[in-house]
Amino acid sequence: MAVLWLVVGTQVKASPWLESGDPFLRADLTVLSDAGELNAPINHYPLRWSSFYDDTDPRHQQTIGNRTVNDARYQMINTARSHVRYQAQAAKLNRAPIAFDAYWANDPAVSLDYGDVPRHEWSVGAAYQYMSNRFAFKVANQYRRDAKGDDEYTWQGTYLALNDGRWLFTLGQIERWWGQGWQHNLIWGNRSEAAPSASLSYLGDEKPLIGYWSFEAVYQLPEKTGYDSHWAMRLVSQPFRAFQHGLSYQKWQDPNGSRQTSEQWAWDAKLALPVFNLPLAHALYTEVASDYQGQERAASIVGWSGQTTIARQSIRVVLEQQMTHHGFESSLDNTPAVDQSLSSDQLGGNSTTYGLNESRSIAVYAQLSNDHAIKLMSAEREQGNHSWRDLEASYRLPIATAMLTLGASQTDDGAPHVADSNVRVWLNYQMRF
């Protein structure tokens, strides 16, 4: 356990929410959700700690009962709970509020999936954050070289959050991930840079038929996308522990007329599956999104994700498929989907995998007993007349009081918008103190 405190401590942040960047922490939280341990849904990131923190208390466990500590399922759930609860406690106690980050990549290509893969050529950044009962803030800045080769100074990740019980008002530049997908997202992904935004969220009590619920409204000012305003609203609920879902609405406006005013409806859901006392937690999930007139079904995602332990190693497997439906717009050039082309050097939009015709992926997330972590991903994608394969691998390991991630990816030549090289390597160094 001492090793856990040392290593996990390099990643903790004193923020009011679980941010949309760590797939391994999300994997552990998903174990608790799929095992029926959480009252509230987890399909909305950043995810406020207060929406699930009490459920991580071992005294509130729902599915383990009187099993012994030698039970494999008990160990799997308890390990996931320990990881999640430590991160939440660290945020509550303002541990490691100072951050230093640096990364380098030979090619600033864009990753499609949930995670913290670098999206620029290089970057050096620092941050300080603080959280109290009534407010939280983060001051972050980076000096980096973007996808066009231009050097810039940015304030990505900076925010001010004001808390009044169940209400939370936030100003800043915050990355979001709305929906259940891991390698695909039809609603709001974190491929592009976060734009300046204001948001208001509310955590609701348990209600008949809808269970525990929450609501968020966001207004942002996207840049370099052709739109000058972006409204988004989202309602999520968990009627019972095995099922959760979310309903989203978004609208983009451009008074200058260079882009058409666009809107989108979307729905996502997750259903936990039975396990029959096996050391496993798994679920089926889906996302369905309308076209940018908000009228017809345009695209959908179906997926399965499950986590187990093998020789004390936590292994999560994710299978996903994205499909385009009849009635989808033939051209997305004048819609928010244009973000798919250049999202690595944009400030805005809701950059997602929405513009893909078809896509299938398999991913493995392994958390080793020595606190190292491995990600492997393979995807076959189609867009217009192009079809290609993406391969990606990364290895995360602790070094003293820091975390180092080494990664590599390969994209076939058939992919649109491939930069200078279809083979990409990167390294990411993170320190918290």
pLDDT digits (tens, 9 = 90+) for 290-307: 988 888 898 999 999 999
Helix (H) or strand (E) holding 101: strand 98-105
CA atoms within 13 A on the CB side of 378: 1
Alpha carbon of 15 to those of 12, 299, 385: distances in Å?
9, 34, 44
Q: Where are the domains of the chain?
A: 2-432
Which CATH topology does 2-432 take?
Answer: Porin (2.40.160)
Q: Which of 61-65, 110-114, 165-169, 401-405 shows the lowest per-residue confidence on average (mean pLDDT)?
A: 61-65
Single-letter code of the amino acid located at 31: V
DSSP letters, 271-282, are EE---TT-SEEE
pLDDT at 218: 95
- Decide: 30 and 41 in contact? Cβ < 8 Å: no
Region 246-255: mean pLDDT is: 88
Note the maximum CA span of the chain.
Answer: 65
Residue 121: pLDDT band with limits 50, 70, 90: confident
Residue 161: pLDDT band with limits 50, 70, 90: very high
The token pair that represents 244 in the structure block:
């959760």
The alpha carbon torsion through 383, 117, 195, 285 (nearest 10 deg) reads: 60
Q: Exposed e or buried b for every residue in 129-140, given b needs 16+ CB within 10 A?
A: bebeeeebbbeb
pLDDT at 10: 41
Picking from 296, 298, 272, the residue whose alpha carbon sits closest to that of residue 284 is 272
In this predicted structure, the answer to whether residue 341 has a pLDDT above a threshold of 50 is: no
Region 60-86: mean pLDDT is: 75
In this predicted structure, the answer to whether residue 406 has a pLDDT above a threshold of 90 is: yes
| Average pLDDT for the chain | 84
- pTM, 2 dp: 0.90
Picking from 427, 420, 260, 421, the residue whose alpha carbon sits closest to that of residue 337 is 260
pLDDT at 113: 85
Spatial separation of the C-alpha atoms in residues 46 and 49, rounded to whole Å? 9
Spatial separation of the C-alpha atoms in residues 52 and 40, rounded to whole Å? 6
The alpha carbon torsion through 347, 350, 355, 361 (nearest 10 deg) reads: 110
In this predicted structure, the answer to whether residue 80 has a pLDDT above a threshold of 60 is: yes
For 176-188, the pLDDT digits (tens) are 999 999 999 999 9
